[in-house]
A = this chain, B = another copy of it.
Amino acid sequence: MKPAPAIACALVRSFGQGVRQLREARGWSQERLAEQSNLNRSYIGEVERGSVIASLLTVEKLAAALDISPAALLRHGEALYDANHAAA
């Protein structure tokens, strides 16, 4: 639950945005994702806001809940990051 240092913020934030996007695409609340992933609801909120750096275990749990591979979940965040930076 360490706060993200500034240097990592962009990608950590994009990862969180990716999680939120995939969750909302399923029409799931944070509560629902929390149940499916065995994570805490407020922790999910922090991950989505990019205010914590998730561990590989958290990535794995979220990916399993969202029914994609951990690599695919990261790639989704990277695509958002690239899109944000192409637009800037």
Contacts and interface: CB of A to CB of B under 8 A. Distances in A.
A70 B11 CA distance: 10
A71 B4 CA distance: 19
Of the listed residues A4, A11, A15, A72, the one surrounded by the most CB atoms of chain B closer than 10 A to its CB is: A11
A34 interface: no
Contact of A70 (B4, B53, B55, B74): B74
A12 interface: yes
Contacts of A11: 56, 60, 70
Contact of A71 (B53, B54, B60, B74): B74
Contacts of A69: 74-75, 78
A8 B72 CA distance: 18
